[in-house]
Each structure stands twice: as structure tokens, then as C-alpha cells.
Structure 1
Amino acid sequence: MTTTAGVPADVQVHKSHLRTLVGTGIGNAVEWYDWAIYATFSPFIASALFSKADPTSAFLATLAIFAVGFVARPFGGFVFGWIGDRIGRKTSMTFAVGLAALGSLIIGVAPTFEAVGAFASVLLLVARLIQGLAHGGELPSSQTYLSEMAPKEHRGFWATLIYTSGTVGILAGTMLGAILSNVLSTADMNAWGWRVPFLIGGAMGLYALFMRARMKETAAFEAESPKEKHEPMWPQIYQHRKQALQVIGLTVGLTVTYYIWGVVTPSYAASVLKMDRGEALWASVIANVLFIAALPFWGKLSDRIGRRPVMIMSAAGAALFHFPMTWLLKDSPWQLAVTMSVMLFFIAGSAAIVPAVYAELFPTKIRTVGVGVPYSICVAVFGGTAPYLQAWLGSIGQGNLFNVYAVVLLAISIAFVFTIPETKGKDLTH
């Protein structure tokens, strides 16, 4: 067995894989944590950084800035995608997590509306744009990196790390929210408690930055010739416009259903359905733990039967159960736990493997930006507006229109699955 410095080759491979999984997972968890705590603590942000004269308008404005953060994603997808395809996947991932930490720290120390007026709201907007730019680059960079580092026979299983680590980040933010809600008074939460998660997020981001700086580049990227790495970007994007459209089509149903059922529903249950906030957050924790458990099941299944069957089962199941679960959800924590768990089980089918599917659609020289730009546009247009659209339609008594909208988007995703080739086991070095 080949050894280096007396270390067996299989041990070296194991350590390399472990470093890849830990470095990718921690950074991705931080990004998702930052994104989720904004939704979780949006009522407190609205109270602190907007005028208290009209609480409903302040809450809607906070959700609007949540959507504005998505506007920066396509730019992040292009900028960090360009870095990933020209300089390296590792460099792109490292810069992205550093920028995310900066955005979180800005929110954590932002002055209140009472102290500086509208400047507080402007500073929140700037921080969300920074986070949007970072998150727009994080997902395509980490997805591409992980897919290229994974053994091709197990790429579907490895791909589950993206949503597993991301959900761990969401869980960390959710549990912290539940703990703070139980420990601190409402006055303390409004005064300073809501800042704690953002300051912790900034600190974790700095640690992830250190971890990613120690990772190595993928073999697929290093195998590319200097000429290929410096080919003009836009002609390459145009040449692969079909694949870009497929990324949008495959993503549109997933992004709306995931952000509603996986991220925003606990806050919706507390704000609109008047459920106890702490109980709502704990119900969300239960559902997200089950979501994490479902991810490897779907990932392994895709490595056996293929990507397309799993994506069809996932979207069809989510579409079939969306209305029944919406009708079941009233004002009880157990209803919230059950409805979120059922929906997240089916959503997990697509979430588990889309990082692998996206990477398998593009050649190495355009893989990061080819995924990043269309994915970010789709998430910005559909995912970013979903919470606001749901809240607005609900406020005018047309909540059912949003449910129809979500199911239609899932049907569109199913249709797009039939347009892609089966890519299970594809060699990504070519």
C-alpha cells in the first residue's frame, strides 16, 4: 500500500474526505443559519429597526427586506461562480463564508430605529444584500466542490451534506430562538436578545473561514487546462442556456415549498395563527430532525435507481400533500410538527440530490457559474418573494391562491425532470 510519511494511503484518503465534509458542512451550516435566524427573529427585528407606529407595516417591511436579500443572489452566483471556475472552488467558498459573517455581524450591532431613525433600516438592507451576495455564491460553490470531491458511485449520498449541514444551521438558529424565548422576557428579547444569534453567526463564520482556508482544490478543477480556465464566460453561459433553464425549472417548486414549510412556517404559526412562539419553534425542531434523517435515504436511493425517479417522487408527494397539510395546520404545536414533517419528508427527496444533479448537468469549466446564476435567479424570484407573497395574500383573505401557486410550481418541476438525462454515476472530470 502506498504511503506518505509513514501514513497509509487509505488513512490519507479518509482524512482528506473528512476535511472536505467538515469544511464544506461548517461553512454551509453558517450560511443557512444566518439566513434562517432572520426569518425566525423577524418580529423582533421589525420592532427594533423599524418604526413602532404601525407594527403590521414594520413586519411586512422586514419580510420585504428578506426578499431584497435574494436580489443580490444572482450577482453572488455570477461573481463567486466566476471565481470558482477561474480561480478555484476552494477560493470561492472561502470568500463567500467570510462575506456572510460580515453581514451577520452588521445586523448584530445595528443601532435601533429610535436611536438613528431610518438609518437603522438602511443598515439592515445593506447587511441583507451582503448576505444575499454571499449566499448566492456559497451554494453553487459548495455544491460543485462537494460533487467533484465525491466518489461518483456515491455522489447522490454525498450531495445530501448540503441540506444536512444547512438544516443543522437552521436547527441551531431555531433552538437558540426557542431557548431565548423561554429564558428571556419579551422586553429583553426586544431590547437585546434578538441580537445574540447574529453575533454568534458572525463568530461561527470566522471559524468556518479558517477551516475552508485549509481545504484542498478539487482534482476536476486542477485537471482543467489554463486555456479552458480563461475562456470567455458569457459565451459559455449562452452555450449552456438549456441546462441553465433546466436548473431553474427543477428548482422552482423546491425553493418555494422548502422556504415555506422548512423556514417560514414557525414564524407564520406564531404571528398569524397565534401559536406560542416557543412551542412553534420546538415543533419545527422535531420536523427538521426528521428532515435530516430522510436526506440520506433519498440520496442513497438516487445512487441505486437514478436521479430522475427520486425527483419525480419528491415533487409529486409534496404537491399531493400540500393542501391536506395546509388544512391540518391550525393553532396546535403537534399540528405544526406533523404538517412540517410530512412536507419536509417529500421535499427531502429533491433537496438531497439536486447538488449532484446540477453539477452533473454542466462541464467542469462552467460548472460553478452555470449552476450559480440560474439557481440564484430562481431562488431570488420565487423563493425570496414566497414569505411576503404568502403573508400579503393571507392579509387580504386570499391565502388559498398561494397554495395553488405552490402546487403549480411543483408540477412545473416535475415536467422539467423529463427534460434532463439520467446522470447517476457520471464522471465529472470530463
Structure 2
Amino acid sequence: MPSRSQYALMSTKDKNTVLFISSISAVVFFDFLIYLYIADIVSAAFFPIDTDPNVAKLQGLGLFVVGYLARPFGGILFGRYGDIIGRKPTLLFSILVTACSLLAMAALPTYAQWGVIAPILFILLRIIQGMAFGLYVPLSWVFVAEHVPRQYLSVACSYVTASFLVGVLFSNAFFMWLSSFMTSVQLADYGWRLPFLVAAVLSFLPLAFWRLVGETPFFLALDKPKLGKAARQPLTMLFKRCKHSIFVGMVLTLVISSVTSVIVLLLPDLIELNFTLDSDLFGFSHSLGIVFMIIGCIFYGMISNHENFGKILVIGSTLLIAQILAFFYHLQAGGDYILIMYALLGFCSGIVGMVPAILVQLFPTNVRLTGIAFCYNITYGVVGVLIPFGLGYATTLISFSPALYIVFIGFIGIIMGMYFYNLPEFKKIDHVVT
């Protein structure tokens, strides 16, 4: 007989928790991505001014990549503490570390003031921020999943995923405002500090509502004395008992990271390599695509659950394949309807919103955060470093390379959907390993 919690309604406290985590998620993604928009300016501030422009650009991108490389260390090293001491204190730790690192970046002396010490300190702060980000993302999904009733699991996680995209829009809008508000000289002199300062303040704001959020019921229900060693060493138990879940989790994360990286971050630059479009219209189209991706995340989250996940993933992946091919054929034909095509592509890319709910259910409660942090950050670290360079080079040779890569990822989504469709049932979300 099903448990009462399986069919319980979402309480006001549950809704407030989802809203709280979603708002933090938007801010955290803004915090991590805002550097990407000012990479060249920051690079000029922290490296010698006589550096070759191409080298300076690589230095700026390198500082962004450092954040990606740091994510697995933060997720794995600190994620395990979320399974040992609790989700709420770990969440507080990730928020405080993010805010403090951003505040330190805003106040950091430049190369002209401190010499080589300045870039070393900035790199160190980027590593710390990347580690906190790698911890926060899987923790946000786990936190809402362990608060809401099971039938709301998918939609709650999709709201959090959609909020990450809100952070992307916010960072884009903030940079456009900053560029129009300040001259290039002002940005290079002191304006580059403003995004970090704003990001730090926004990171501290959620703490005003901290008392309204409680520890997750799932973690509170863990019988730690009975679990013994399993409660103290989640990383060991993860590799001992959950090898299959790790593999499946990494494949699902490949789908999330690839679709997000290519469609949200890389596609505008990749398209400009081979196609000529009106820059203002194209910029608006890209933002519109992200808006519809937010809508798509929530839509797929609402219609999917643990019973029909496989079927929805197969259908959604098939639609994504069809739309990315149609999108690039449309670009080749002139791109007259770029607004509509970008909106449809964004909506179809919203399949990523349904995946985190399955990641949460792959792992037992006492190793859940450790498992998701490992799968998500290792895979995302590899994709975040290799795909921009690999796909960038491939696109100079074949203009359809981004589409072909997303088609490949779409087929992986279809295969995983068929796997879950034939899977009899997930284990109970509150099970543990000993």
C-alpha cells in the first residue's frame, strides 16, 4: 500500500522552500557566469598590459575554465559532508563561500598594484568559487527533492533547473546594462568590480530568510547509529554499492551539460563562425530561446514523473533532434524566421528540466548528495572544458557541427529513455545502503 507522503499535497512550507532554492539558484548561476561576459576586461586588469591580445583572450577564457575544473573537487570533497552533517548546513556553507569569494574578487588589487600576486589570488578565488558552485548545483536538487511529496518531485526540480537559466538571462541583461552605462575606459579602470560586488550582495540576501528553511525530512529520518560506517563514509559506500547508478547518472549528466553548454552558452559564437545575421536580432533571438527553454523546463517537469520518465525522454529527445536540424537548415536558407526557430529550439531543449528528478532517485538517501555531486561535476567538468574548444574547431570545418553534436546527444537521450521505459520501478526514494 502506498505511503501517505506519496500522494500528499505540497504544503506552503514546501512551496516556500522551492521558491527559496530557485531564487538562490538564479543568483548562483549569475555569480558563476557573469565573469564570462567581462573576461577580456578582467584579464587586462590582472595580467601585464603588453600581453598579446590573443594571449590575453586565452588567459581570460582560461580563468573561466579554471572554474569548471574546480567544480568536481568542490562537489566531491564537500558534497559528502551534506550526507554526513546535513543538507542545510552544507547549503549555508556553499552560499557563504560563494558570496565571500565574490566580495574578495571585487576588492582585489590589480596587476598594476600588486604585480604577479594579483592574478594568483584571482585564480585562487575562481577555484574557490567553482568548488562552491560544484557543491551548490546538486545540493539544490537534493534539497527540494527531499522536501516535496514524490508526485511533485519532477516539477520541483524543474523549477530549480529553470531558475539557473533565469540567472543566465540576468547575467546577459546586466552586462548589456553595464556596457551602456560605462565607457570602455571606466570598465577597465573600476567598472569590472561592479558585477562581482552586485553578485556578492545578491548572494548574501537569501540569508535573511534562512530561518524559514528547515533540514530535509529525509536526512532527519536517517538512522545514523544503525547505518554505522555507511553514515560516516558516503564516498566509500557510493563506489561499493552504487556503480551502476554512477554510470547512469554520468550519462544523464552528459545530456544536461551538453544541451545547456551548446544551446545556452556556445551556440551564438558557433553560428557567427559560418552564418551572417543581424546582430541585434540574433541577440534578441538567443534571449528569447532561453526564455522558451525556461518554459520548456517547467513543461517537461510538469508532465514527467517516475512512471513515464522514459517515454517522455524519448519523445523530447526526438523533438530536440528534429528541431536542431530544422534550425540549422533554416540558418542555411537565410534565417528569416530566426525568432520562431530559436524559440522552438529553446522549448525543445527544456527536456533538461526533467532529468534532475531522476538523478535524485538513482541514489540512496545516505549517499545521495555525494553520488549526484560526483556524476554531475565530473561529467560537467569534462564537457565544460572539451566541448567549447572541440566543437569550436569542428565548426570551422563543418558548419553543421553543433547540430550534429546535439543529434548525437539526442540519440543518447532516446537510448536512456528506452532504458527507463523498460525499467520496472525505481527503488523507494527514501531507501539507504549499508
TM more than 0.5? yes
Determine the structure 2 residue equivalent to 1:347. Answer: 349
Which of 65, 68, 83 aligns to 2:66? It is 68
Give the CA deviation at 1:397.
4.6
Determine the structure 2 residue equivalent to 1:382. Answer: 383
In structure 1, distance between residues paired with 2:331 and 2:103: 35
Give the CA deviation at 1:197.
1.8
SS at match of 2:304: helix
In structure 2, distance between residues paired with 1:93 and 1:41: 28
Give the CA deviation at 1:116.
3.8
- Closer/same/farther in 2, CA of residues 214 and 273 from structure 1, 3 Å limit: farther
Determine the structure 2 residue equivalent to 1:236. Answer: 237
Which of 151, 161, 172 aligns to 1:174? It is 172
Determine the structure 1 residue equivalent to 2:364. Answer: 363
Determine the structure 1 residue equivalent to 2:299. Answer: 297
Give the CA deviation at 1:391.
3.9
Structure 2 residue identity aligned to 1:134: A
Structure 1 residue identity aligned to 2:390: L
Give the CA deviation at 1:366.
1.0
Which of 23, 39, 42 aligns to 2:39? It is 42
SS at match of 2:76: helix
Give the CA deviation at 1:379.
0.3
Give the CA deviation at 1:268.
6.0
In structure 2, distance between residues paired with 1:162 and 1:102: 23
1:206 paired to 2:204: yes
Give the CA deviation at 1:226.
1.5
Determine the structure 1 residue equivalent to 2:313. Answer: 311
Structure 2 residue identity aligned to 1:320: A
Which of 57, 61, 64 aligns to 1:59? It is 57
SS at match of 2:213: coil
Contact 2:320 2:348 in 1 (8 A): yes
Structure 2 residue identity aligned to 1:301: I
1:28 paired to 2:36: no
Contact 2:35 2:64 in 1 (8 A): yes
Determine the structure 2 residue equivalent to 1:8. Answer: none
In structure 2, distance between residues paired with 1:259 and 1:212: 31
TM-score normalized by structure 1?
0.85
In structure 2, distance between residues paired with 1:310 and 1:23: 28
SS at match of 1:149: coil
Determine the structure 2 residue equivalent to 1:193. Answer: 191
Structure 1, unaligned stretches of length 5 or more?
1-11
- Closer/same/farther in 2, CA of residues 268 and 230 from structure 1, 3 Å limit: same
Structure 1 residue identity aligned to 2:201: A
- Closer/same/farther in 2, CA of residues 108 and 138 from structure 1, 3 Å limit: same
Contact 2:274 2:399 in 1 (8 A): no
1:372 paired to 2:370: no
Determine the structure 1 residue equivalent to 2:6. Answer: none
In structure 2, distance between residues paired with 1:170 and 1:63: 18
Where does 1:257-276 land on structure 2 (aligned, <5 Å)?
Answer: 257-266=259-268
How many correspondences in the alignment? 416
SS at match of 2:192: helix
Give the CA deviation at 1:372.
0.9
Determine the structure 2 residue equivalent to 1:17. Answer: 14
In structure 1, distance between residues paired with 2:398 and 2:272: 19
Q: Identity over aligned residues, as a percent? A: 23
In structure 2, distance between residues paired with 1:153 and 1:284: 33
1:378-418 residue CA offsets vs partner (Å, 9 max, x unmatched): 00011343234344555x65665565444334433432333
1:407 paired to 2:411: no
- Closer/same/farther in 2, CA of residues 320 and 79 from structure 1, 3 Å limit: same
Determine the structure 2 residue equivalent to 1:4. Answer: none
SS at match of 1:230: helix
Give the CA deviation at 1:267.
6.0
Structure 2 residue identity aligned to 1:248: M
Structure 2 residue identity aligned to 1:385: L
Contact 2:165 2:290 in 1 (8 A): yes
Which of 144, 148, 151 aligns to 2:149? It is 151
Q: Considering only aligned residues, what root-mean-square deviation do their CA atoms show, in Å?
A: 3.2
Give the CA deviation at 1:29.
1.5
1:174-221 residue CA offsets vs partner (Å, 9 max, x unmatched): 111122223332333333333322211111111224434541011111
SS at match of 1:175: helix
In structure 2, distance between residues paired with 1:209 and 1:384: 32
Contact 1:254 1:315 in 2 (8 A): no
TM-score normalized by structure 2?
0.84
Give the CA deviation at 1:281.
4.9
Determine the structure 1 residue equivalent to 2:418. Answer: 418
In structure 2, distance between residues paired with 1:36 and 1:200: 13
SS at match of 2:305: helix
SS at match of 1:145: helix
In structure 2, distance between residues paired with 1:383 and 1:161: 23
1:295-340 residue CA offsets vs partner (Å, 9 max, x unmatched): 221111103971112222333333333344346559x998775554
Q: After the TM superposition, which of the residue ranges 264-273 and 63-72 deviates more from structure 2?
A: 264-273
SS at match of 2:215: coil
1:254-298 residue CA offsets vs partner (Å, 9 max, x unmatched): 212211221344566789979887766544332222222222211
Contact 1:33 1:173 in 2 (8 A): yes
